[in-house]
Structure formats: structure tokens, C-alpha cells
Amino acid sequence: MDLSYEIKYSDRKTVNISVERDRKVVVRAPNGLSEQKIYELVEQKKFWLYEKVNHFQKYPKEPKTKEFVSGESIMYIGKNYKLDIVPEQFEDVKFSNKFSISRTNHARASELLKQWYITKAKEKIIQKAKFYSKNLGVKFNQVKIVDNKYRWASCTLNDNINFSWRIIKAPNFVIDYLIVHELTHLLEANHTQHFWNIISIQIPKYPKAKEWLKVNGSILEEDL
């Protein structure tokens, strides 16, 4: 059985093979490394990769979609708030210790909540990225809020930092960790001990954030 994978070249010195949350195998390789050599490295780890791809706990079934009925829980910044479908007519989403959507817009609840999340993500994440970039002494090109379901954050070769709007559901300490993680890649491409040392200075309790993501990551992937 063949194992498909994606190759991402950069100026890194080592090869890293990983399985993303969408079960996609990604090979991060140094520029100039032949595809034949990469194929041989993947073949050596083939059985380990099959095991990872089919791990039912690490990669659970497709998360459930919400029904958008009054009383349903909506997560924001690590806390659950109740949704209220109200008779009053108004546009968009109201939020004050609960989410409120007009009954006339009930059919558009998913769309409205997604746009509300994106707006809040832009407000909070970009501000945090600027704060931590100054602390780290790094410069990024642009912060983008994207619609990735399984990849919460990424750093591109042209120093753009991408964050999924979905991470705005997570607690602040988790959001901070994800932001610092990507900004640190501007200083250290690989997950070396030096990389984690830099993160630990900014986010001393980063292992707690990693554990939260391990346990609750599927919540961030839930569709609206």
C-alpha cells in the first residue's frame, strides 16, 4: 500500500516527517535533497506513519456540527457560553455573557458566528503577535487569520504568520503559546532544545498549553 506525502523544502539542515491533524503526511526537507532520498526515508518510517495516520485517539472521527438551538454551548476564549435564539430582530451576533442571535437569522447562525469569531481573532491575535514579536526581537511580514481546520498556526518562508480563526475558542494561555511558537520559528526553524528554551522564557507554562491542545484540540476543529 502506497503512502502519499507532501514535501516542503526550506534551508533547514535535517529532515522531519510528521503527520498533521488532517492525517496528511508532510516531509520537511533541506533544499536540494532528492525525491529518491526522501522516498527512502519515508519507506523506513512507513509502518510508524501508518500507525500514526490510523491512530483513533490522536486523529478522532469528524467532529459533530452544532444545531444552534437555545441553550447550546459555544466556546470562546476557553469558556463555554450559552446560545440564545431570541425573537428580537437584529443583525449579526450579540455577545454579553451569552451569544444571542435573532430568530430571523437562525438559518444563518453558522455564518454569523464564524464571521464574529474571525473579527475577534483579528482583534486579539494580531495585537498579541505584535506584543510577543517585540519581546522576542523578531519581525514578521504579515499576520493572517485563515480558515484552516486542522492546522492551528503556521509560519511561511516569506515570514507571514498564519493563524486559524478557530484558535480564538481556546484559553488565552493557549493562544499565547501558539503565537509564540510560530514567532520563535523566525529565530529557530527546527524544534531544538534552543527553540523550546526561547518559548519557555515567554510562556513558562507552555507544557500546560500543549496538554490542553492534546486533550481539547478536537473542540477547535468543530464546524459552525
Tell me the pLDDT tens digit for each residue of 58-88: 555 555 567 888 999 999 999 999 999 999 9
| CA proximity to 176, closest of 196, 204, 155 | 204
For 157-176, how does the pLDDT look when each residue is reduced to its tens digit (9 = 90+)? 788 899 999 999 999 999 99
Mean pLDDT of 128-136: 96
In this structure, the answer to whether residues 49 and 133 fall within a common structural domain is no
Do 44 and 84 fall within a single domain? no
DSSP state of 221: T
60 domain-assigned:
no
Domain contains 144: yes
- First-last CA distance in the chain: 35
Query: Average pLDDT, whole number, for the chain?
Result: 88
Number of domains forming the structure of the chain: 2
Q: Is residue 62 one of the residues assigned to a domain? A: no
E strands within the chain?
6-10, 16-19, 25-30, 73-76, 79-86, 94-95, 99-102, 142-146, 153-155, 160-164
Top-confidence residue, 206 or 23: 206
User: Is 181 inside a domain boundary?
Assistant: yes
Q: Is residue 117 part of a domain?
A: yes
Helix (H) or strand (E) holding 202: helix 193-202
Distance CA 152, CA 164 (A): 5
Claim to verify: residue 203 and residue 98 sit in the same structural domain: yes
- Same domain for 201 and 151? yes
By residue range, what is the domain housing residue 12? Answer: 6-53
| Per-residue confidence (pLDDT) for residue 4, from 0 to 100 | 82
**What's the CATH number where 214 sits?**
3.30.2010.10
119 closest CA partner among 145, 91, 89: 145
In sequence order, the 6+-apart residues with CB closer than 8 A to the CB of 15 are: 27, 28, 29, 30, 33, 38, 41
Give dist(CA 179, CA 119) in Å, integer. Answer: 17
Asked whether residue 146 is assigned to any structural domain, the reply reads yes
**Per-residue pLDDT tens digits for 103-112:** 999 999 999 9
113 shares a domain with 41: no
> 96: exposed, middle or buried (C-beta count within 10 Å: 0-12, 13-18, 19+)?
exposed
Whether residues 77 and 49 share a domain: the answer is no
pLDDT of residue 1: 46
pLDDT at 208: 96
| Same domain flag for 149 and 211 | yes
